[in-house]
Amino acid sequence: MLISDELTQYLYSTVEEFTKNSDKVVIAFSGGVDSSLLAKICKDLDKQVHLVTIGFANSHDIVFSKSISNSLSLSTNHIAHEIKETNISDDIKFVKSKLACNVLSHIENCIAFYRISKIIKYYELGHSFLTANGFDELFCGYDRYRSYYQNGEESVTTYMEEKLANEDHMMREISNVISELKISSYQPFLSRSFIKYAKTIPLEYKIKGQDDLLRKHVLREAAIRIGVPKEAAMHPKKAIQYGSLIHKYLLKNKSIFKV
């Protein structure tokens, strides 16, 4: 069996396990390969799929997600919420008050998911949502994997474990922040069983070398095979804080919010 076929089976079985008790799912959606893959799988599992995207006006995520949700025939249930400067300041202050750490990427992600949770609550979409977190850690999505690659597979593996630990920590922080709204988030691809499987996939299927600017190759191949639009499947990584322009806004106003 091809690695991509085996991976596809695990992807579907993992999502099916997480969604077996619900006919409706809400997904934090950017239009990139990760969230598009999750959305397509949920659609194939006959779930009623709702997509939520946040970002400042004309941000990458707002524009790109609209195009991809339309290609996936999911635009009817897609909320692309534009963040306004006038209403994000309270979000930032609240998130800062809930976090013990001062890691900028954690603050940015908590702000993004807090805003997503507020949208879910406002539109009465339920009390939980899914995210595709885990793929970047497990399939060498981060650009820094390229610099570790030249030091050998052990170096890459060590970095992967560090990133998984960091992601687990950050998702627990996010859970704490959004619990104020009585909303929960779930990450199928950070489950123990999926992590265990993903680690068995040879490194060569994830990253080709230190000059590999795309990475996550077998995941992108699986995405295309199940019908994710090529535009999304082959899209370079763009983290939510950058795609939404939250990072840019915080840097511009760091003297006000002390981030």
| Closest of 113, 158, 108 to residue 259, by C-alpha | 108
> What digits encode the pLDDT tens for the residues 24-57?
999 999 999 999 999 999 999 999 999 999 999 9
Task: Return mean pLDDT, the chain.
Answer: 95
Distance CA 237, CA 142 (A): 8
Q: What is the pLDDT of residues 54-63, one digit of tens each?
A: 999 999 999 9
Percent of the chain with pLDDT over 90: 90
* b/e burial code for range 110-122 (CB count within 10 A of at least 16 → b): bbbbbbbbbbbee
Side chain identity at residue 4, one-letter code? S
From 135, 104, 150, select the one nearest 235 (Cα to Cα): 135
Tell me yes or no: is domain 3-251 CATH 3.30.230.10.
Answer: no
Dist. CA 192–CA 179, nearest whole Å = 23
47-56, 96-105, 137-146, 227-236: which has the minimum mean pLDDT?
A: 96-105
Taking alpha carbons only, the member of 89, 43, 64, 92 closest to residue 243 is: 64
> Can you give the residue ranges of every domain in the chain?
3-251
CA–centroid distance for 179 within its chain:
19
pLDDT tens digits for 181-215? 999 999 999 999 999 999 999 999 999 999 999 99
Question: Which among 117, 96, 119 is positioned nearest to 253, based on CA atoms?
Answer: 96
Average pLDDT score over residue span 122-133: 97
CA atoms of 254 and 88, how far apart (whole Å) = 13
